[in-house]
Amino acid sequence: MGEKETIEKLEDLGKSMIKQVKKRESPTFETPLRSRGNIEYDKSVGFLRLGAKKEERKFLNVAQAKTFMQTVAVANKTKKFLKEGLHTSIRGLYYQLKFSLGENLDESLFEEQTESNALIEDLEVAMGIKREDLHLTTDRKGVVAGNMIVKDTFAGEETTIDCSKQGRSGWMIPSDVDNGMEFVDVKADYVLVVEKDALWQRLNEDRFWKKEKCILITPKGQASRGTRRLLRRLADKGLPVYVFTDCDAWGWYIYWTIKTGSMTLAYLGRDFSIPEARFLGVTMADIDEFEFLKKLTIKAKPIDIKRAEEMLSYPWINVHPEWVKELKRVVRDKRKIEQDALQGKRLTFVGEYIRKKIKGKEWLP
């Protein structure tokens, strides 16, 4: 969404409230409910999103008055950021709004950052604007290497980044890959997401991305908003997305968040999910295929078992018999395998493993 459009949306919100005041009505603010009861998995599109339940907040309701005032303050502040062309973190925003209400009131507009964080999410959902569009940055996480050239317009300057010339470090994915970011050239057959940075470094040293013509990305654990947006944009270019994680509940959770979105961020919907993503491994079934892995399994922790059981109950996961089989095996054997274990045979086996899986289409949905 363009900056102009975002500013317009914010101004419209203000205008509609003023209209209400003039009609002698309480200003209202409607936002979809973000509670569990209003989160649903949309089978037709393949990701989690919010249902139809909405909540109307009124300034003239004592219980909501303060939150209402805060929401308007956040909206107004972010509009200023947009007009000034400056970015800040959600913590920066909090400090911008943490001031006394004055008039001899022993009360601040915001006391805790958690208050403003929740309101940012409210605004995102209610207005269909991403926080990145509001010039609010998030922590950067995730690294890319591959044949990809990006043009970054930032702080009044234009920089061209070639992701194939980033040496051992790779290009760090910024928090916002939408505003002022242009993908000039992407020469790849697919995208490979590797859970752990260590494996990414292994594959980078192997120049795997060059040999395989892929975009090699590590989210370094759970994928950040920026990484998910980048994956979405690459998928939109028609590139298949393959995910490679540990064979444990956490690894699989990372995969499913990339694919369908998470419960907590369900309000983000399609912009942040990649339903077409595929899972390469590591799987429990790999033990049967690769003898050496048998000795390299480790004991699963109770939390792994618990998460596996949870995932078995999610309708968007348990519709896939392959996943049910995998998860049940974890619950039964109480074992797990790290992706690092693939280096147990020899360091470069990781690349061989991935190639084999993609070639043989040995992936899980």
22 near other proteins, judged by CB under 8 A: yes
Q: Which is nearer to other proteins, 78 or 262 (CB)?
A: 78
Interacting residue with other proteins among 2, 5, 15, 158 (CB under 8 A)? 15
Say if CB 119 and CB 71 are below 8 A apart. yes
Q: Which is nearer to other proteins, 9 or 301 (CB)?
A: 9
Reply yes or no: is the peptide bond before residue 282 cis, omega within 30 of 0.
yes
Query: Binding residues for other proteins, how many (CB under 8 A)?
Result: 30
Say if CB 230 and CB 207 are below 8 A apart. no
Q: State the angle between helix axes of 249-260 and 321-333 in degrees (0 to 180), rounded to the nearest 10.
A: 160
Question: Distance (Å, rounded) from C-alpha 262 to C-alpha 186?
Answer: 28
CB of 21 to other proteins, least distance (A): 4
Say if CB 63 and CB 95 are below 8 A apart. no
52 near other proteins, judged by CB under 8 A: no
Nearest to 68 by CA among 78, 79, 80, 55: 55
CB of 14 to other proteins, least distance (A): 3
Q: Of the listed pieces 97-105, 144-152, 255-263, 339-347, which binds other proteins according to CB under 8 A? A: 97-105
- In the numeric block, which tokens belong to residue 162? 């070639």
Interacting residue with other proteins among 39, 73, 181, 193 (CB under 8 A)? 73
102 near other proteins, judged by CB under 8 A: yes
Whether the CA torsion 178, 183, 189, 195 is positive or negative: it is: negative
Q: Which is nearer to other proteins, 100 or 159 (CB)?
A: 100
103 near other proteins, judged by CB under 8 A: yes
Q: Among residues 41, 95, 190, 253, which one is catalytic?
A: 95
- What backbone torsions phi and psi does residue 244 show, to the nearest 5 degrees? -130, 115
Interacting residue with other proteins among 1, 33, 72, 324 (CB under 8 A)? 72
Question: Distance (Å, rounded) from C-alpha 281 to C-alpha 271?
Answer: 25
84 near other proteins, judged by CB under 8 A: no
Interacting residue with other proteins among 76, 153, 264, 318 (CB under 8 A)? 76
Q: Of the listed pieces 15-23, 41-49, 204-212, 252-260, which binds other proteins according to CB under 8 A? A: 15-23
Q: Which is nearer to other proteins, 116 or 204 (CB)?
A: 116
269 near other proteins, judged by CB under 8 A: no
Is residue 190 part of the annotated active site? The answer reads: no
What is the bridge-based pairing of β-strands 241-244 and 278-281?
Answer: parallel
For 204, the 3-state DSSP assignment is: helix
134 near other proteins, judged by CB under 8 A: no
24 near other proteins, judged by CB under 8 A: yes
Say if CB 244 and CB 339 are below 8 A apart. yes
159 near other proteins, judged by CB under 8 A: no
Nearest to 341 by CA among 359, 333, 353, 324: 353
Q: CA 88 → CA 113, 181, 201, 272, 274, distances in Å?
A: 14, 17, 31, 21, 27
Q: Of the listed pieces 102-110, 153-161, 242-250, 325-333, which binds other proteins according to CB under 8 A? A: 102-110
Residues 114-133 that bind other proteins (CB under 8 A): none
Q: Which is nearer to other proteins, 61 or 160 (CB)?
A: 61
Say if CB 358 and CB 280 are below 8 A apart. yes
Residues belonging to the active site: 95
- Residues at the contact surface with other proteins, assessed by CB under 8 A: 10-11, 13-15, 17-18, 21-22, 24, 26-27, 59-60, 62, 65-66, 68-69, 72-73, 75-76, 79, 101-103, 105, 107, 109
